[in-house]
Structures are given as C-alpha cells and as structure tokens.
Copies of this chain bind each other. A is one copy, B any other.
Amino acid sequence: MSFSFTLAATDGVARTGSIATPRGEIRTPAFMPVGTAGTVKAMMPESVAATGADILLGNTYHLMLRPGAERVARLGGLHRFMNWDRPILTDSGGFQVMSLAGLRKLTEEGVTFQSHIDGSKHLLSPETSMEIQRLLGSDIVMCFDECPALPADEGAVEASMRLSMRWAARSREAFGDRPGHALFGIQQGGVTEDLRGQSAEALKTIGFEGYAIGGLAVGEGQEAMFGVLDYAPGMLPQDRPRYLMGVGKPDDIVGAVKRGVDMMDCVLPSRSGRTGQAWTRRGQVNLRNARHADDPRPLDEACTCPACRNYSRAYLHHVVRAGEMIAGMLLTWHNLHYYQELMAGMRAAIAEGRFAAFETDFHATREAGDIERL
C-alpha cells in the first residue's frame, strides 16, 4: 500500500481528510506529539496512542547522535525500538543543528557540526539526512533545509531559501523510490510573500508527497505567522498534505487549521506538562499556584484523561510541588489528550461545515478563563 492523501471536506480554506500509510491512517488536521530521542517524554507509547495521536515526530539530530541511526536500524528501526507501530515523521536535523550543535560550518554541501553530547564531529547534508531517516525507518521524511532565525534581512532569507531549494532537489534525488514512504518538501521565504511563492514553485517543480511550511514559529510572533499563513498554504498543492512545522499553542493551532494547514507538531504540551503547566479549553493553568492546594475539583471536569478523571487539583498541585515524576506523567497526558481532543473537535467541525462556530466557541471559552477559585 502506498502513501496517499484524501480530502474529505473543506470549510472555508480549512480542510479535513486523512493520510493513508502502510502503518495506519493519519486523520487530518493532525497534531504530532514530539518523541525527540525515542520517547515522548514522561509517556508510555500506549498512553500516547490512547490520547488519539495517529503519528509521532522523531528528531533526526538527536537520534543520529544517540543512540545512532545505524544502531537503530540494526535493532529493527525506530518503530520497534521505541514500541510505536503507527506512522512516524522525522525532521531532517537541520533545525536542531542550528539551535543545539556546537561549532557549525555551513557550506553548499551541508552542515558540519559537533555533537552537543560528546563533541564528536558530524556532517548533515541532503544525502546524509535522507540516509539517516531511511535507517530510522521513518514513514514521512523531511527534506534537509536551512531555517534562518527571524527577524533576518530579506537578502539573507532569500539566499537561505534558494539554498534550501537546491537541497530540496538533492533530497528528492537521494530519497529515491521508496513505496509507502513519503518525502515532504519545505517551503521557506520568511515573512516575504514573493519569496514564499518562489519557494512553493520550486518545490512543486521537484514534486513531493507533502509540503511543509518551514521557517515559522521561530520568534516572529503570532500576528506575523498568521500573516504568512494567510497566503502560504494556498501556494501549495491542494491535493497534498500541508504541514506547519513546530506549531504551537492551542490558539496558534486553531488559527493555522483555519488557514488550511493539515499537520502540526510541537513540544509544548509535553514540555509544559513537566513544569506544572496544563492546557485546558479554559486556557493555561499553573498547577504550582497555591490556589490549587485545597481544591478537590479536577483540572477540567469535562476532560476524560486520567489526570482529570482520577485526581484533584490539590493532588496535582502537591505532586508538582514535591517534584514527583507522576506530576509530569499526568500533566503531559492531560496536555496531549487536550491537544488531540482539540484536533478531533476541529475535524468534526470542518466535516460539518461549522468551523467558524467552533472557533468562536474556542476563543469564548478561553477568554472566560479558569474556574473560579473556591
């Protein structure tokens, strides 16, 4: 069975559908939890699946350094290694090289860098990134690209975009013919519409199974990001999934789906869960706050996750304060559950042609804020 994308319904430019892969279906719009180093932090993979996640993201940069792509391949691939049999998307390593590695050197060939773990030297290029993602056994492979931090001057953004497009062509070539696996191109061009358009054309000329919108959620702010999303998704093929990389907060996600995005990923729900922060339909709740110490009510009485079903805010507050691992376990579970419920709500709303009402209700519930203190 090969990789394919089917659009089921649209509402405005918002879309719902599904991606078929040999490892199972990905319902879109989809949120992908991040399993950086072979684990979604604080979660058992069966719990991640229980939240409704159809696909995980793995980080090429982390996995190539530890435990190493060849080792993962010898052990049967990333799915088997981390006990996750549904689809996995891997990034190209390009973003993390720029944010984590030491002593980077960027050339036409690729990026040489030192591991942030042990200082060892490595090369990431379109060819090595494709090889590493193949060894990992990724279902959706990302082109190797360069992602400049914003703000940057337009000349630098343009040069970087053109380099990424040359690397996209080399990625396509190196990826080869791999039935059932997909290669996604990544649109760059910063916040400049003309560059975004040129990037989209370059990618379409090469041809990919899906198209990502890269270079956003890197410090430009929500308004600038939505400004780009007002035009960028429409530059990409209608009949291919569109993936907005590294986004985001719940309101970023709703705004992105409204603008025609099909897939997203972000560390936020899991990272927040490890610092006592919960995301709920009423907004963000800091369980560390003393107001919860005697509160017998659940975090969200309408939520069916284990944290909300079985524990009080007082308990969550206690375990956050005491630094207990179960705090991160329960709050990560809740946050991922909330994110997936949000995606399911949007899929249903788009299918039923009521996305605008969904969005109004989403914002109204958040603006009403958390429940009154007792």
A151 at the interface (CB under 8 A from B): no
Q: A67-B293, A294-B71 are in contact. Are A81 and B325 (CB under 8 A)?
A: no
**Do A319 and B38 touch across chains, with their CB atoms under 8 A apart?**
yes
Provide the A81-98 mask, 1 if CB < 8 A to any CB of B, else 0.
111000000000000000
Q: Which of A41, A74, A82 has the most CB of B within 10 A?
A: A82
Q: Does A344 belong to the interface (CB within 8 Å)?
A: no
Interface size on A, residues (CB 8 A): 35
**By the criterion CB–CB under 8 Å, are B44 and A314 in contact?**
no
Q: Are A81 and B328 CB-contacts (below 8 A) given A44-B306, A294-B71?
A: no
Closest to A62 in B: B322
| In the complex, A42 has a CB within 8 A of chain B | yes
Are A325 and B76 CB-contacts (below 8 A) given A294-B71, A311-B83? no
- A310 located at the interface, meaning its Cβ lies under 8 Å from any Cβ of chain B in the complex: yes
Complex: how many Å from CA A44 to CA B326?
7
Chain B residues near A271 (CB, 8 Å)? none
- Chain A, interface SS category: loop
* A364 part of interface (Cβ distance < 8 Å): no
- What is the distance, in angstroms, from A244's C-beta to the closest C-beta of chain B? 27
* Residues in B whose Cβ lies below 8 Å from that of A39: 319, 324-326
- Cross-chain contact of A314 among B41, B81, B296 (Cβ < 8 A): B81
Q: How many copies does the complex hold?
A: 2
In the complex, A38 Cα to B82 Cα: how many Å?
Answer: 29
* Contact of A296 with B67 in the complex, beta carbons under 8 Å: no
How far, in whole Å, are A82 and B317 apart by their CA atoms in the complex?
A: 12
Report Cα–Cα, A171/B74, bound state, in Å. 61
Contact of A44 among B38, B294, B329 (CB under 8 A): B329
Least distance between A59 CB and chain B CB atoms (Å): 12
Contacts of A83 in B (CB 8 A): 310-311, 315
Name 5 interchain pairs, CB-CB below 8 A, sorted by A: A38-B324, A41-B325, A44-B329, A66-B322, A81-B315
| Chain A residues within CB distance 8 Å of chain B | 37-39, 41-44, 66-67, 71, 74-76, 81-83, 293-294, 296, 306, 310-312, 314-315, 317-319, 321-322, 324-326, 328-329
The 10 A-B residue pairs with the shortest CB-CB distance in the complex, in nearest-first order = A83-B310, A67-B318, A39-B326, A42-B325, A39-B324, A37-B322, A75-B314, A75-B296, A81-B315, A41-B325
